[in-house]
Amino acid sequence: MPDTSKGRSAAKRLRLKFLDADAVESCSPFIPRELVTEIAMHCESHPATVASMALVQRSWTAASERVLYMVVRIDINGQRVEVAEAELLMVTLTTSLTKAAYVRSFIFVANEFPPLTHRRSIFAALGATLGHLRSLRHLRLLTPDNRVLHDIPLYQALCRHMTSGVFSLRTLHIPAHYLVNEPTAFETAITAQKDLGVLYCLGQILCPGPAWIPINAASKAGCVALAHNRESQQVTLFLALYKPSFWPEYCRQVEQSLDGARPASLVLYVDHAAHIQPAASSMTQSLLRVRRVEWRFKPAQRAWKTKYVLLDIDEVPITLSVFHELREIAFDAWDVRNANVFIYLEYPDRIKLAQGLRDAGCSKLWKITFLDGVNVHRQLRRGVEGWFIVPLRS
């Protein structure tokens, strides 16, 4: 039973207040005075009602806080007022363990920053705040400029929190330069997150490179890793790090992670040319509508340490015909800087491959580039449109 002693006095004050004419009129223009008076008299006769109302109000407040703090989003576009509000919110989360425990998803998006001092303070406060979010499951840290290093305290704090198990993440969205600057630390942090399902990197990641270390660690842990360059609308998929049987699920989770964004270009890392068919059949509808596909193969070993890539000119056109919007196809190697990599395809066969792709359904295709620089373009020469070998690149 609720305590009615306080309720009785509160009801009396409530009745006296509502019986005041001005108070009744100012209560609401849509509530009749008689109804307000009747409610006040009822509360005076039933003190337990007021006490129950107080309990309900407190429970509603707790319930609303649980919902309000479940998803926390901070957007900064260069305004000092926004920075002050963000810092105030983070102080609330660091000082109230109850509110911090409600947070399941934390999103920090900074399109532009105010002066340098505010950048340092906001990153330091953000790193400290993450240490209090023990119920955190989804984290997005999207900072703008990868040329400055003011966010070093942030991603170093993130690595510490992930490694020590402060929270157990399901999805992690971070800039690609975080992995480039701290590859070993993020490798340890990602390995420690046993429930991590998606690693979304904003930017571009090339192989080989420092970021390949944590990306490989994510794949070994069963985490879907991808890179998304929003400026060029390019998505990089690391299919070679996963079993082909997992590729359909991999592509489905990639599409969900893009949040409706439609990529214009795909970069696909695969082991060899035989994986073109299973990779193409694993694509979702949004991934099949790209205008450019770049295949990066892991070259096979050959004598004298020379590496080569072999393409089947009869099978490839049929396989790639599912990409109806293709304008350009590129065939390259994992390591684009390796000069001892060649593609085993004669010049006439390259023309045949291009024509086969057009006949199979890629009617908008106009360019095929190869890793050795001997490319094929569809051009109009002397009034005749056709496929031509372009000169070697210098």
pLDDT value of residue 199:
97
Pairing of strands 328-333, 341-344: unpaired
Q: What is the pLDDT along the chain (394 residues), one digit of tens a residue?
A: 445 555 555 544 444 444 454 554 555 555 677 777 777 777 767 767 666 666 666 666 666 778 888 999 998 876 666 788 888 999 999 999 999 999 999 999 887 766 666 777 888 889 999 999 999 999 999 876 555 566 888 889 999 999 999 999 999 999 999 999 899 999 999 999 999 999 999 998 887 789 999 999 999 999 999 999 998 999 999 999 999 999 999 999 999 999 889 999 999 999 888 899 999 999 999 999 999 999 998 876 655 566 777 788 888 998 999 998 999 999 988 876 665 667 778 889 999 999 999 889 888 999 999 888 889 998 877 666 778 888 654 4
Q: How far is CA 245 from CA 1, 249, 275, 315, 319, in A?
A: 61, 8, 12, 20, 17
Sign of the alpha-carbon dihedral angle for 146, 152, 155, 159: positive
DSSP state of 123: H
If you write DSSP's letter for every residue of 180-207 in order, what string do you get?
HHSHHHHHHHHHH-TT--EEEEES---S
pLDDT value of residue 123:
85
Residue 148 contacts by C-beta under 8 Å, 6 or more apart in sequence?
A: 119
pLDDT value of residue 29:
57
- pTM of the entire predicted model: 0.80
Residue 12 contacts by C-beta under 8 Å, 6 or more apart in sequence?
A: 44
Upper half-sphere CA count for residue 4 (Cβ side, 13 Å) = 8
Q: Residue 297 — φ and ψ, nearest 5°?
A: -100, 150
What amino acid occupies position 228? H
Q: Output b/e per residue, 331-357; b: 16+ Cβ within 10 A.
A: bbbbbeeeeebbbebeeeebbbbbbbb
pLDDT value of residue 202:
93
Q: Which tokens belong to 189?
A: 């942090």
Cis geometry, peptide bond prior to residue 208 (ω within 30 degrees of 0)? yes
What amino acid occupies position 333? A
- Name residue, tokens 């020590």: 164
